[in-house]
Amino acid sequence: MGSIALLAVMLGVTPVAPSPLSLPGAGGRVGFDDLRFSVELRKVLVPAGRTGRVDLVDPQSQRVEEIPGFSVSAPGGGGHGQSTTSADSGDGFLFASDRTTRELVIADPSTRGIVARAKLGGAPDYVRWVGTTHEVWVTEPGKKVIETFRVERSTPPRLVRTGAIDVPDGPESLEVDPDRRRIYTNTWKDQTMAVDVAERRIVAEWKNGCGGSRGIALDAQRGLVFVGCDEGRVVALDAIHDGNVVGQARSGGGVDGIGYGPRLSHLYVPGGDSADLTVIGVGPGGTMQVLGKLPTARDAHCVTTDDLGTVYVCDPGHGQLLMFRDPFPPSGPPSSPRTAR
């Protein structure tokens, strides 16, 4: 056994080497913040920060297509406060943030061109499509609101502001539950909130037990809301039964974004401080079991998975993605595939 593999085993890390995928124009550090697999587009959405591009990765060929036109800045520095850092898709469009200009942007994936922009009231964080109302919801933590826009399918399409929802001590992260017509978000401390899409207000607040709430993932079919805790933990909340905590597990430190693969019932929790990816099996009732850890990179804090069993972790320090084939067996009967962060 080689020295790297031996060290990995001693640290409890499964010695599975990732396949790196370089992104066009990265040339160094990229402040990633959000990865998303679009079932509709059959692409992994990669907002590539200061490069001024949202990259679309084909999960079968790993071919990368680029949507340019966002703000561009020079390499170097840290953080993820520049240009495009969050994206989602719906109705054939791609929606993305531009933090530098404080705009919400619509792009056409077929032409790979930007077709509309709208000014935001504050600096954007997460961008999510809400199909039941044909809206885009954007979190703005500095303003403590979620700003909402209706998409009008004119030529060109337009973004029409429909309001803002107050989220005290938040909002951190954003996930859409289309079946229950709810949106889930966190405070920065120890609460997860359910927002009713029709009523446009917080209708439930649940204690999640985190010291610092961060990312959210969802198993909509089973009504499970997963919350990542910055200190190195993840919990499962039962959205059907008053947000009760039904499972929890430890992970590496520095948790931010998390992802869920319904086909394998696996939760993916990258630790930006510990430079590893904890893979957690989720049982039928939300119980959790750590299956193993995979080596990543320092500050690798965002993740998604496609429906073919490939996991994608952002590597900001090298401006690339780290790709893994999940080596662990399924943890329960598969849920219906959903777009997952």
CB 339 within 8 A of CB 39: yes
In a domain, 139, yes or no: yes
Please give the chain's pLDDT, 341 residues, in tens: 343 343 344 445 566 789 999 998 888 789 899 999 999 999 999 999 989 999 999 999 999 999 999 999 877 655 677 899 999 999 999 999 999 999 999 999 999 999 999 999 999 999 999 999 999 999 999 999 999 999 998 999 999 999 999 999 999 999 999 999 999 999 999 999 999 999 999 999 999 999 999 999 999 999 999 999 999 999 999 999 999 999 999 999 999 999 999 999 999 999 999 999 999 999 989 999 999 999 999 999 999 999 999 999 999 999 999 999 999 999 876 665 544 44
Compute the distance between CA of residue 223 and CA of residue 282 in angstroms, rounded to an integer: 13
> Is residue 332 assigned to a domain?
no
Domain annotation covers residue 333: no
Token pair of 318, please?
A: 């090298």
DSSP β-bridge partners for residue 295: 276
In-domain check, residue 341: no
Q: Nearest CA to 326 among 45, 56, 16, 37?
A: 16
Q: Is residue 338 included in any domain, yes or no?
A: no
For the chain, the domain total comes to 1
Q: Is position 296 within any domain?
A: yes
What is the amino acid identity at position 199? Answer: E
- Count of Cβ atoms closer than 10 Å to residue 89 Cβ: 22
Domain with 125 in it: what CATH number? 2.130.10.10
Q: What are phi and psi of 5, to 5 degrees?
A: -65, -40
Distance of CA 90 to the CA centre of its chain: 16
> Do the bridges between strand 244-250 and strand 233-238 make them parallel or antiparallel, or are there none, so unpaired?
antiparallel
- Which DSSP symbol is given to 180? T
Provide the whole-model pTM. Answer: 0.93
Structural domain boundaries, residue 70: 3-325
**330 occurs within a structural domain:** no
Q: Which residues contact 213 (CB under 8 A, 6 or more apart)?
A: 172, 173, 186, 187, 188, 189, 190, 191, 192, 227, 228, 229, 230
